[in-house]
Chains A and B, each alone.
Chain A
């Protein structure tokens, strides 16, 4: 167990020392700043604009960071041969994958924490005080973190067998399709025969990011209920575990030429 923690800690350190990460954070903070600006010129809907823009920035840039770092987690280690001196130690391959996952997930949680502070700061700036419905932003942030967990595990899954470029294409495509998972399910309901089976299968196979996106609802002060929180938590954990298991299964059999 401790080896997983050491690998996770090193992955976290790598992400923190990666300058690209800082650029993305700076950009996200800029967007939060822009939310304040847009909020100021939006009469009576400042809160709505700040929450919407701020949380979207947190989500989008987190996704970019998750994909950008996640796709290189395994393939970069193979390409640069840094993996050789890790796996020649008493480290099992699954420990490496799980450690890498927790390292990246930890990075994104810390990232979300600081960007969340930015969103609350922007909200305080335009609204001058917090109200009870603002606590729902925390739930939206929690769902964003769940979204990151799924994306991390998918990026790792693709990274375990393909090149960084292809992994990025796969992961980003799944993110886009998953964001419209509800629409895909609706489309499946309108079709017949083989197409219905295919569309339904695809709709349930891709990650359902639309269920995790409550930004608009929270901006309109219509927070998600406890059932949705529980369902989303279980769904994200299940999907992440499945994707990570797939990554482990592939990586366990891979020759590191």
Chain B
């Protein structure tokens, strides 16, 4: 079953002094996210990621379209008992301590009073917020607030978690911990939907991603599929600084770095390259198929769009 089905959600804001000028924040969006997957929602700033998330959370009303979450209408308040949400750059009631905040959110989410205290301790430990008892949130750093935000999103053990820019404000160690946490959530059978513009995080974590720009979906698919449309080339790495002539003859593009050589050559020359290295008695370290990175795919999508825009502008002129 699909955890999320977005069926043509779209949003147009009326802007200007008299609210007469329409500004489309999201074109009709059709998207499906399977249960148990980590799904990345990628796009540059202002692409429409947060608008989509806000509509799914019922914070912003769509101009048209509908959605289903965990098989039910997304407007059904009871669905919300099974989802967790971390907003972008979260800000909480700063007069509360982390324990009080989580207790309040636990009450609102229907976490039973019995065992709530223990659950709060577990969750705080899980996000690395220990030793914060009695400390009001106004004294928290940005990274600590982000952790508190993640804690409130998973407090009630939701089946589906929405994270809006979860790595924002975190140091490299914190980012790593959040990545680990998201993988753990997946192992627990939960669905994770997160928006980001940090592509390396998405590439490392996601089963599937969708790319959105200027409110329009530009591509969607499994990370392997999006990144394997390359080139048909392999990278061969061997020990030493010698580049045999036979390798050059195969059309390899070789670079010597320290005491290793990296050569990129067509995939159909792979066997010949291995034979050549064997003949020269050179120690082979690795052969890896070259893939496009998600970043390259993303940049390509953005560039295509820019090109289309400039062509349209040219026609208009």
Q: Which A positions have Cβ atoms within 8 angstroms of B?
A: 2-3, 6-7, 10, 13-14, 17-18, 80-92, 253, 255-257
Q: Is the CB of A84 within 8 A of B108?
A: no
State the B residues within 8 Å of A (CB).
13, 54, 57-61, 77-78, 80-81, 83, 85, 87, 89-93, 95-96, 104-105, 107-110, 149, 152, 162
Task: Pick 16 A–B contacts, CB within 8 A, sort by A.
Answer: A3-B107, A6-B107, A17-B95, A81-B89, A83-B59, A85-B85, A85-B92, A85-B105, A88-B85, A89-B109, A90-B81, A90-B108, A90-B110, A92-B77, A253-B61, A255-B60
B61, A81: Cβ atoms closer than 8 Å:
no
| Set of chain B residues within 8 Å of A255, measured between Cβ atoms | 13, 59-61
Chain A hits for B95, CB < 8 A: 13-14, 17-18
Q: Which of A18, A84, A257 contacts B87 (CB 8 A)?
A: A84
B57 contact from A6, A10, A87, A257, Cβ within 8 A: A87
Which residue on A lies nearest to B85, using beta carbons? A88
A84-B110 in contact given A17-B95, A255-B60, A257-B60 (Cβ < 8 Å): no
A90 to B107, CA, bound (A): 10
Which 8 A-B residue pairs are closest in the complex by CB-CB distance?
A: A88-B85, A256-B59, A88-B57, A84-B87, A17-B95, A6-B107, A90-B80, A90-B81
B-chain residues with CB within 8 Å of residue A253 when the two chains form the complex? 61
Q: Is the CB of B109 within 8 A of A256?
A: no
Interchain CB contact under 8 A, A87 and B58: yes
Choose one: B13, B78, B83; the contact of A88 (CB below 8 Å).
Answer: B83
Shortest distance from the beta carbon of A17 to any chain B beta carbon, whole Å:
4
Interface-central residue, A6, A7, A10, A84, by most chain B CB under 10 Å: A84
By beta carbon, the residue of chain B nearest A99 is B108
In the bound complex, what is the Cα–Cα distance between A13 and B103 (angstroms)?
13
Chain B proximity of A164: nearest CB distance (Å): 17
Q: Determine whether the beta carbon of B109 is less than 8 Å from that of A81.
A: no
| A89-B60 contact in complex given A82-B91, A84-B85, A84-B87, C-beta closer than 8 Å | no
